[in-house]
A and B are shown apart, each in its own frame.
Chain A
Amino acid sequence: MGRFRHTWGVAEPSDQPTPDREPAAPRRHRKAHTTARDLERYAGLFAQRTSVMRSSAMRDLMEITARPDVISLAGGLPDTSTFSPQSFARQMTKIAQESSAEALQYGPTEGFASTKECIRQVMAAEGMNPDPDDIVVTTGGQQAIDLMCKVLLDPGDVVIAEAPTYPGAVPVFCSYEAETIQIQMDSEGMDVALLEVALFDLAEQGRKPKMIYTVPSFQNPAGQTLSLERRRRLVEIARKHEILVVEDNPYGLLRYEGEPLPTLYELDGGDYVVYLGTFSKILSPGLRLGWLCAPPPVLAKVVLGKQASDLCTSTLAQYFVDEFFAEGRWREYVDELCDVYRARRDAMLESLEQHFPAEATWSEPEGGLFLWATLPDYIDTTDLLARALRENVAFVPGVAAFADGRTGKSSMRLNFSGSTSDEIREGIRRIGAVVAEQVALYGAITREQRVVPGGDGAHAGGQPPSVGSDPPEGSDPGGDVVPMRRREPEA
């Protein structure tokens, strides 16, 4: 019986017992109990790299966010209810009728040519024109990240990532025992000047990163997009230093406003940029279908790595994508999704404006699934999550987006794709209320005159809001993701 729990929208097999209604039988094939001595015995068997795979209080809290009565702004879930069940049935029926044996068979490690043609269409929609031979179809974009780490990283190697970075990439870097250096972002994405400083500092120590991992468009979790100028600069830096840039672009087509920007892959021509794509956000994450585009020598290693991991990507899933694309309306479907998500993003931004205190800042993404909000530095969002869960609402604490597990304590990632606009409004109202409570409490403890906004946006005590004051002092780098947006002053 496969059961999965969700952490940051990344499904992980759960080893937790199931909250079943049935009696405990039938028995699992497992010893009735584990003794302290057993633990020591296994401890000696674990690989060194597992010592950095840590659980944390935050992870335990995240488990609770899956409760059905919780409004979860924590996950990264696309809304799969918008996909027509009739269309799904039609495509699967066609596969069963016309290609049953093939669809149930193994496939080539690098993926089917027909699926690569679908991928070519998706990439062409963003101005790229890859050679199908440069593509390998992967089990989701997550495997593509894993494979790149697998072929590039020795223990202790340096990976550069954004600060904050995709929370699902952090455990991958950790499991390959990489040293992750995170580069500050602002409203134009990763600060490439700081990147150059970091490269210089590393060079002084005789070190060079193996890769620069970036989500340039509608970044997860910050919601920011790398500007054109910085895209050009980043590609130049990669070339000059001969470092691979891993461009993870799951959301590029989910743009709700503004003009599309060229991908790093297009700007570079595919020499120093490895491109990761996925069908998860434009079609379905349940398919577990992503891809990786890399220069041939890199691709050859990736294919070997993938062969060792899982031989090939799900044949059935690839057949499904082929059928869906054959109907010729995939762009239309993406446009429908954009309409849905745009409205939800707007609902979230409006609600933040209304319910978050003046001290809070947040990004205003032009696309994607997430925005990043930063609270005063005395609020720890892991603790805040515990408080918020009592109000049945959840978000991802900022520390999840940092490899050190410490930075980003006062920030949070909010997802607007997986809940309805009404749920988003109610969820933000509830989070706003608990934040206001903590702001007021801190003010009462420090005896500072602080703005005490109520959950309804009213300012208690008739105090004028201190909008426009300096950002929270001593904020950690998570708090410096210069945004962004603040609540407008009120009369």
Chain B
Amino acid sequence: MKVAVLKGGRSLERQVSLSSGARVEDALAESHEVVSLDAGHDLVERLKAERPDVAFVALHGADGEDGTVQELLEILGIPYTGPGVSACRRSTDKAEAKQALREHGISTPDWVSFSQTAFSELGAADALEEIEERLGYPLVVKPARGGSALGVRFAASREDVPQAIVSAFSYDSRVLLERHVQGRELSVGMLEGEALPAVEIRPHDEDRYSYEARYEIGRTDFICPAELGEDEAMVGASALATWEALDCAGFVRVDLILGDDGPEVLEVNAVPGLTDTSLFPMAAEAAGIGFEELCSRLVTSAVERMVA
């Protein structure tokens, strides 16, 4: 099969995407004809010229994860890996995803979300008191869309809030203020409707409140499979419910916190990182699925999904 690997693009996560894409290309090279596409102005033109049998979407960030590229691929009639347009659109916006989760009865930390105009035009600042009463401190401020740790801040008290909001708005025109849930940080890879072993993310103490440290080897320990004991089933069920609620396909990564009240889902990554240090491949590996096999399976199932 001829596989077009879509990577790069113009988002802030371009570098991660290039790494993910290159790794996918390597993995598929033995078994497939691979075409490497750095998503730019000529993407559609090149897809039309190459006529691949399937597209492997390794584009992170806007365009790649918000359904834009998926929409284009649908129009061109090219099967693609990962969730469809509407699942992408909903999971990429954390506020929308959390709303969908709540409607499906899946636990997610309480939140409020605001657009930039709410502050600039509607005086949303006057609601901050009610917000802190409801969410308490510390709270987490994050851009509604955007991956990795970009623009995510802890606010330990009221003084931290305005600056955290300004930072978050650097990445998106909508931000979330979310209740901070104490607990174990987990990431569950979902592969074709099945939960892979959970990965636990344990930042070193001094980096506890630095999101940047969270994805760096040496500043964070990753434990896979996470030792969850009897909570394992609950965590898996929560990830599966999330998969169904958002109508996912192919593979996604569900990030959640295991607190005193059980698992609470934070967000869903429609195009999880596939770099050397990414969590999804780590989880697949723990399930006995090597990276080559993983990529091949995703490609095959994408084509089957299209036919079905």
Query: A-side interface residues toward B, CB under 8 Å?
Result: 16-17, 19-25, 27-28, 30, 32-37, 39, 43, 51, 54-57, 60-61, 63-64, 67, 378-380, 383-384, 386-387, 389, 438, 440-442, 444-447
B38 close to A28 (CB less than 8 A): no
Task: Return the contact of B166 from the options A32, A441, A447 (Cβ within 8 A).
Answer: A441
A64 close to B14 (CB less than 8 A): yes
Specify which chain A residues have a CB less than 8 angstroms from the CB of B19 in the assembled complex. 16-17
Specify which chain B residues have a CB less than 8 angstroms from the CB of A438 in the assembled complex. 166, 169-170
**Seed contacts A25-B34, A441-B119; 16 additional CB < 8 Å A-B pairs:** A16-B22, A17-B25, A23-B35, A24-B35, A33-B292, A34-B291, A35-B290, A36-B222, A60-B13, A64-B15, A380-B170, A386-B12, A386-B150, A387-B171, A444-B125, A445-B125
Task: Return the contact of A379 from the options B26, B166, B224 (Cβ within 8 A).
Answer: B166
Task: Return the contact of A386 from the options B126, B151, B218, B292 (Cβ within 8 A).
Answer: B151
Give 5 nearest A-B pairs by CB, closest first: A17-B22, A33-B291, A19-B38, A383-B170, A387-B170
B230 located at the interface, meaning its Cβ lies under 8 Å from any Cβ of chain A in the complex: no
How far is A35 from B25 in the complex, measured between Cα atoms in Å? 16
Specify which chain A residues have a CB less than 8 angstroms from the CB of B170 in the assembled complex. 380, 383-384, 386-387, 438
With both chains docked as a complex, state the minimum distance between the C-beta of A450 and any C-beta of chain B, in angstroms. Answer: 11
Task: Return the contact of B216 from the options A34, A55, A444 (Cβ within 8 A).
Answer: A55
With both chains docked as a complex, state the minimum distance between the C-beta of A40 and any C-beta of chain B, in angstroms. Answer: 10
Specify which chain A residues have a CB less than 8 angstroms from the CB of B124 in the assembled complex. 445
Q: Which of B76-84, B240-248, B275-283 contacts A (4 or more CB under 8 A)?
A: B275-283
Known: A17-B21, A386-B150, A389-B12. A36 touches B36 (CB 8 A): no
A445 close to B18 (CB less than 8 A): no
B271 located at the interface, meaning its Cβ lies under 8 Å from any Cβ of chain A in the complex: no
How far is A24 from B165 in the complex, measured between Cα atoms in Å? 42
Query: B-side interface residues toward A, CB under 8 Å?
Result: 5, 7-8, 10, 12-16, 18-19, 21-23, 25-27, 29-30, 33-36, 38, 116, 119-120, 123-126, 128, 148-151, 161-163, 165-167, 169-171, 212, 216-219, 222, 224, 276-277, 281-282, 285-286, 290-292
With both chains docked as a complex, state the minimum distance between the C-beta of B119 and any C-beta of chain A, in angstroms. Answer: 5
Specify which chain B residues have a CB less than 8 angstroms from the CB of A383 in the assembled complex. 151, 166-167, 170-171
Specify which chain B residues have a CB less than 8 angstroms from the CB of A379 in the assembled complex. 166
10 A–B contact pairs at CB < 8 A?
Answer: A16-B18, A24-B26, A35-B281, A35-B290, A64-B14, A378-B162, A383-B167, A387-B171, A445-B125, A446-B125
Specify which chain B residues have a CB less than 8 angstroms from the CB of A22 in the assembled complex. 36
How far is A477 from B116 in the complex, measured between Cα atoms in Å? 30
How far is A54 from B212 in the complex, measured between Cα atoms in Å? 11
B150 close to A36 (CB less than 8 A): no
How far is A387 from B116 in the complex, measured between Cα atoms in Å? 13
A447 close to B125 (CB less than 8 A): yes
How far is A345 from B166 in the complex, measured between Cα atoms in Å? 30
With both chains docked as a complex, state the minimum distance between the C-beta of B97 and any C-beta of chain A, in angstroms. Answer: 21
How far is A64 from B212 in the complex, measured between Cα atoms in Å? 18
With both chains docked as a complex, state the minimum distance between the C-beta of B294 and any C-beta of chain A, in angstroms. Answer: 9
Task: Return the contact of A32 from the options B27, B33, B35, B151 (Cβ within 8 A).
Answer: B27
With both chains docked as a complex, state the minimum distance between the C-beta of B224 and any C-beta of chain A, in angstroms. Answer: 7
**Interface-centre pick from A17, A35, A379, A384 (highest chain B CB count, 10 A):** A17
Nearest residue in B to A387 (C-beta to C-beta)?
Answer: B170
Known: A57-B149, A445-B162. A27 touches B26 (CB 8 A): yes
